[in-house]
Amino acid sequence: MAGAEITAKENGATKSAFARRVVIESVRPEVDCGRFPIKRTVGELVEVTADIFADGHDLLYAVLRHRSASRPDWQEVPMEPGENDRWQAVFRVEAEGRHLYTLQAWTDRFLSWSRDIVKKFDAAQDLSVDILVGAQLIEAGAQRASRKDRGVLATRAEEIKRLATRDMPGAVRMALSPDLRALMIQTADRRRRCCNTAATRSEVPAMRPGTRPAYPEGPPRRSTPPCNGVALRAMITRRGTPHD
């Protein structure tokens, strides 16, 4: 169905030049690895959860991406971490028809740096090198940013470096400001991102208000072969129908 497929390239699930450090598992809701659509009514919330984790100590950031099958642009909702590596986010089904959703997650160097510099600041350690590392991360973010935000980030990096020479606490506060954090998340380096390939084929057919699906989480489960990209791509090619 035109507009109802998510290609590997579209979701960034291409072979990366970097070693994959992030893992996305146990995505819910999904039915038989996305072979069948879940069902919701118009205006209803879809709560999506997944186990997301990575090696090392860098902080993770994850987003839920969703769109109507009739629209090309994705909307992103930040996911919130819970206990035992379980992340959660919700989106609302606004119109009747098919919807798609998928997850992306990556290790974020700026968020990790922000966490570490707070610890060093509280321990009264020398931050002369660390603050320059942060400024370099902001400058790198400026290179990835839109034209509108590029100048803001480049200017902020220079201000932090100048302020650090006379007022290190003030430079740290500037580097940790909420507005700067938001811009750095927008311009995050996603080259090492992980994308869940199974849930990318999940579809949400919204129903008319006042009607209730017989099986909100899809038809009763049956014995099926393990999830694999070939089977899932075939299902999508056939417009999500489970049989020829």
At 157, which CATH number?
1.20.58.80
| Alpha carbon separation from 181 to 44, 92, 113, 141, 176 (Å, rounded) | 31, 26, 11, 11, 7
Measured in degrees and rounded to the nearest 5, phi and psi for residue 150 equal: -60, -45
Per-residue confidence (pLDDT) for residue 20, from 0 to 100? 54
Predicted pLDDT at 205: 57
Q: Do 169 and 125 have their domain in common?
A: yes
Predicted structure pTM score: 0.72
pLDDT at 96: 79
Answer whether residue 38 is part of any domain: yes
Cis peptide preceding 225, ω within 30 of 0: no
CA 217, CA 141: separation in Å to the nearest integer?
40
pLDDT at 214: 52
Distance of CA 50 to the CA centre of its chain: 11
Residue linked to tokens 């994705």:
74
User: What is the model's pLDDT at position 68?
Assistant: 84
In a domain, 114, yes or no: yes
Question: Within this chain, do residues 95 and 29 fall inside the same structural domain, yes or no?
Answer: yes
**Whether residue 91 sits in one domain with residue 138:** no
Three-class DSSP category at 35? coil
On whether residue 166 sits in a domain, the answer given is yes
Q: Which residues, 6 or more positions from 196, have their beta carbon under 8 angstroms from its beta carbon?
A: 24, 27, 50, 102, 103
The per-residue pLDDT for 233 is 32
Count of domains forming the chain = 2
Give the CATH number, domain containing residue 58: 2.60.40.10
pLDDT value of position 31: 76
pLDDT tens string, the chain, 244 residues long: the values are 334 444 444 444 434 444 458 899 888 887 776 677 788 888 888 999 999 998 888 999 999 999 888 888 899 999 999 999 999 999 988 887 888 888 999 999 999 999 999 999 999 999 999 999 999 999 999 999 999 899 999 999 999 999 999 999 999 999 999 999 999 999 998 887 877 654 444 455 555 555 555 545 554 444 444 443 333 232 333 333 333 3
Same domain flag for 48 and 119: no
Identify the pLDDT of residue 243: 37
Q: Which domain holds residue 169?
A: 110-186
Q: Report whether 195 contacts 65 (CB < 8 A).
A: no
pLDDT at 224: 41
pLDDT of residue 208: 57
Count CB atoms within 10 A of the CB of residue 153: 23
